[in-house]
Amino acid sequence: MFALRWSDVSAGTMQVFVTKGVVRNHFGKVKTPASRKPVPLHQSVLDALSEWRTESLYQGEGDFLFPSIRLNGTQPLFPDMVMNKIIRPLLTEAGIVGKTIGWHTFRHLLATNLRSMGVDVKTAQELLRHANSRTTLDLYTRAVSADKRIASGKQIEMLMGGSVSVPSCVPSAA
């Protein structure tokens, strides 16, 4: 995300082309061919990026999407700075405390949410740009409690040969 330049975003195809990565301000190629595949963008993301571009001091095709103002746009923002000064304070404000949140947390969250929504594993693999689906399933996704409850209920229903009521989520204390 931090290595992206405006030229990497295509409003016409509604995609972003990830060709470079940046770690501690050292730029290089992304790890695998799967990592180089374009990422589809939702119209709302394109709209937000378009609005951001009009507000940015650095709007040229070769400029970073998220430039460091302190470095006059010659480098992108530092991911650790964004995490520590923006994201973690917002999480605290939202009441999310006592959890270790890092950039990879968002990838795990995306993988788990895609799985929970029933998205095909191959589609999830490609959205996460993993080289293979085992990485997506074995390392990135976690079963969600509601999904486990539904699966368990379906198993009991099958074994009992009848209809078993399966709550879709944990009952509230109403």
Separation between Cα atoms, residue 54 and residue 35, nearest integer Å? 29
- 69 shares its domain with 27: yes
Tell me whether residue 37 is in a domain: yes
Q: In the numeric block, which tokens belong to residue 166?
A: 């399966």
Tell me whether residue 35 is in a domain: yes
Are the C-beta atoms of residues 9 and 41 closer than 8 Å to each other? yes
Q: Which domain holds residue 22?
A: 1-76
Tens-digit pLDDT string for the chain (174 aa): 999 999 999 999 999 999 888 887 788 888 888 888 889 999 999 999 999 999 999 999 999 999 999 999 999 999 999 999 999 999 999 999 998 899 989 888 888 888 888 888 888 888 888 888 888 777 777 777 777 677 777 877 877 876 555 555 544 444
Tell me whether residue 144 is in a domain: yes
Tell me whether residue 87 is in a domain: no
Tell me whether residue 90 is in a domain: no
Tell me whether residue 139 is in a domain: yes
Tell me whether residue 81 is in a domain: no
- 6 shares its domain with 60: yes
Are the C-beta atoms of residues 8 and 18 closer than 8 Å to each other? yes
With 0.75 as the threshold, say if the pTM is over it.
no
Are the C-beta atoms of residues 75 and 68 closer than 8 Å to each other? yes
